[in-house]
Structure 1
Amino acid sequence: MCLRSVSRLSHLDKECIIMQREQYGVLVCLAGVLCNLVLFATKLAIALAVNSAAVFSDAFNNLSDAGASLALAAGFYVAGKEPDQRHPFGYGRVEYIAGLVVACLIIITGLGVGKFALERFLEPQPVDVNPFVVCGLACTIVAKFLMSLFYRQANKAIQSTAIQAGATDNFSDAVVTGVTLLSFTITGFTVFPVDAAIGVAVAGVILFAGIKTARDALGHLLGRMETPGIEQQIRGIVLATEGIEGMHGLTVHDYGPFRKYASAHIELAASMKFPEVHTAVEQAIDSVRQILRMDIVLLPEPLDATSENFLPPLAFRHQESSR
């Protein structure tokens, strides 16, 4: 399946965009699972061959990445389900739950790797390095860089924070493996357990990534403040509608990627008649949907509440079924 950039899919409705996005996300994550399992097996074989704590830590870092990609694939699959009677806003937040599961897996892996590397640091063991090992690790570095580029291109298509984090993680893995390879050069010139120290550092990187992922996922689940840019866009679109003089009380509700809903109070001239108010509200709602692909509820209020033409607050919401 070929998915173009989401910004170019203006002719498709929102649900179609979401379904294609989730399907593409599943394929990307499954590709990540396969690649990380191959890298895990390769690095584990190298670690056992040369007795390296750093490579061993790096190998299990790739295993945690494979588990994370599998969890994200499941999250994308469930998040792509259409809204139903029990979940009228869809299953988009499952993607955030999957991110939290991924974070837990990463943290557990980091703790295990750190324990192993620390034991090696306290009781150092010799590391046997040969040209084949160096070539093998160099190939894994290239593979991780290519995976990082692959994830970045995928993120341009589906605009997923999880995929973006995967791109950054793959790049970090390539750097970590490069540092591990460099440690082999230093090991022969010092009695300090450089290999084990690098293993501890890798564990620290894994833990940092896990904590950051958990913080981001929890932020979405608990309902964090939206970026000012989105609110400014909504205000600009609504206030550009003829007849709407002001706006306040804007709130954006996040039910998952591309499943955001907004609500706000708008101010109109008290002299406007009901049909004019209805037309202005519908026009503003349609504009927000077409430009931002977001549903919005608008509550009209008169600018002059003491006027004889006072309009009682009425909520207008554009329903897809009315089309």
Structure 2
Amino acid sequence: MDQNDRFKQGEFAAWVGILGNLVLAIVKGVVGFLSNSRALIADAVHSASDVAGSFAVLLGLRAAKLPPDRDHPYGHGKAESIAAIIVAVLLFVVGLEIGYSSIEAFFHPIEAPKVWAIYAVIFSIISKELMFQYKIRLGKRINSDAVINNAYEHRSDVYSSIAALIGIGAAVIGGKLNISWLEYADPIAGLAVSLLVLRISWKLGAESIHNTLDHVLHEEDTVEMKKIVESVEGVLNLDEFFAREHGYYVIIDIKVAVDPEITVQQGHDIGKEVKNRLIEQTLVRDVFVHINPYQEEKGGEDL
């Protein structure tokens, strides 16, 4: 996929998230306030945090688009992973706030929410699931941690809205039947929402931090890349191969063994061919090739 096309699709998805979450936050916030539903207000706060998360994704995509420079010779691809971490932190803070607000409700007189809250939650569930399906497919297609994390923000909103729906429904029934203890299902649902948000934020944050810390690709993910290197004429042995993710692309450090009797120019040409093939045939952005002299009894001799 062309890089410009990739960023255009990613930015469009971010704007979909910003506008969609803004509408949902306003609708759920207003209906939650008018219908006296703590669970729906908590869900509205969750959607409002998603607006900030989508802005972080947008900024991360734009930063990642910048070309390499003197201070960032490997490019700016990790800006997307940093944006993903920001999204996870925002989710975690929101989860704590929702939990605190829900627990606080148990120490005050409570009134069952109005039935309108149920309609707002159903609208939210349908909207957020559509956004999740759209973004998770796009994120995987363009290989963007930030977009994938943003998609799971939408999925966490689906879960939280389902929890809110159960709680609000139970509280409404409790109000209709004068079952006072059942009216507490609304703040209990708010507490369940907070736990779901905290769990998802922790998982997303851990994964994003892992991707930011220059981890190398697993063996099974480098098989095709190694075959490409070994297929280059003049490469007698693959001595060392480290491929690391740098946002949406890959940087490779490699050591190959060649005939020790060839000229420096010939060795350089072999290294250049290795680099070109990896860049042309994979998501690799850059390759640093070290040439070793080949020794039959131990492959290449590292210098």
After TM superposition, the score normalised by the length of structure 2 is 0.87
Indicate yes or no: 2:276 matched with 1:292: no
The residue aligned with 1:185 is 169
Counterpart amino acid of residue 40 in structure 2: V
Cα distance change of structure 1 residues 108 and 230 upon mapping to structure 2, 3 Å threshold = same
Give 2:43's match in structure 1, choosing from 58, 65, 69. Answer: 58
- Looking at structure 2, the residues matched to 289 and 106 of structure 1 have their Cα atoms a distance apart, in angstroms, of 36
CA contact (8 A) 1:23 1:77 kept: no
Give 1:136's match in structure 2, choosing from 120, 141, 145. Answer: 120
Aligned length: 293
The residue aligned with 1:317 is none
SS in 2 for 1:142: helix
The residue aligned with 1:210 is 201
- Looking at structure 1, the residues matched to 159 and 283 of structure 2 have their Cα atoms a distance apart, in angstroms, of 38
**Which has the larger displacement, 90-99 or 152-161?**
152-161
**Which has the larger displacement, 224-233 or 261-270?**
224-233
- Looking at structure 1, the residues matched to 214 and 154 of structure 2 have their Cα atoms a distance apart, in angstroms, of 28
SS in 2 for 1:303: strand
CA contact (8 A) 1:149 1:167 kept: yes
Q: Deviations over 1:228-271 (max 9, x none)?
A: 2332222111112223222132222443322x221111123445
Indicate yes or no: 2:153 matched with 1:162: no
Cα distance change of structure 1 residues 180 and 290 upon mapping to structure 2, 3 Å threshold = same
Q: Deviations over 1:268-307 (max 9, x none)?
A: 344545454344323222211111142212222222289x
- Looking at structure 1, the residues matched to 120 and 296 of structure 2 have their Cα atoms a distance apart, in angstroms, of 76
The residue aligned with 1:20 is 5
Give 1:281's match in structure 2, choosing from 263, 266, 271. Answer: 271
The residue aligned with 2:253 is 263
The residue aligned with 1:195 is 186
The residue aligned with 1:219 is 210
Cα distance change of structure 1 residues 199 and 29 upon mapping to structure 2, 3 Å threshold = same
What is the CA-CA distance between 1:113 and the residue it aligns to?
A: 0.9
The residue aligned with 1:38 is 23
Counterpart amino acid of residue 182 in structure 1: I
* Pairs within 5 Å for 1:89-108: 89-108=74-93
- Looking at structure 1, the residues matched to 76 and 6 of structure 2 have their Cα atoms a distance apart, in angstroms, of 13
**What runs of 5+ residues in structure 1 fail to find an aligned partner?**
1-5, 10-16, 314-323
CA contact (8 A) 2:68 2:76 kept: yes
What is the CA-CA distance between 1:86 and the residue it aligns to?
A: 2.9
**What runs of 5+ residues in structure 2 fail to find an aligned partner?**
none
CA contact (8 A) 1:270 1:311 kept: no
Cα distance change of structure 1 residues 186 and 285 upon mapping to structure 2, 3 Å threshold = same
Counterpart amino acid of residue 170 in structure 1: H
CA contact (8 A) 1:36 1:66 kept: yes
Q: Deviations over 1:105-124 (max 9, x none)?
A: 21211111110001113435
Cα distance change of structure 1 residues 64 and 312 upon mapping to structure 2, 3 Å threshold = closer
- Looking at structure 2, the residues matched to 279 and 89 of structure 1 have their Cα atoms a distance apart, in angstroms, of 23
Identity %: 22
- Looking at structure 1, the residues matched to 144 and 23 of structure 2 have their Cα atoms a distance apart, in angstroms, of 25
CA contact (8 A) 1:124 1:196 kept: no
After TM superposition, the score normalised by the length of structure 1 is 0.82
Indicate yes or no: 2:191 matched with 1:238: no
What is the CA-CA distance between 1:61 and the residue it aligns to?
A: 0.6
Indicate yes or no: 2:14 matched with 1:29: yes
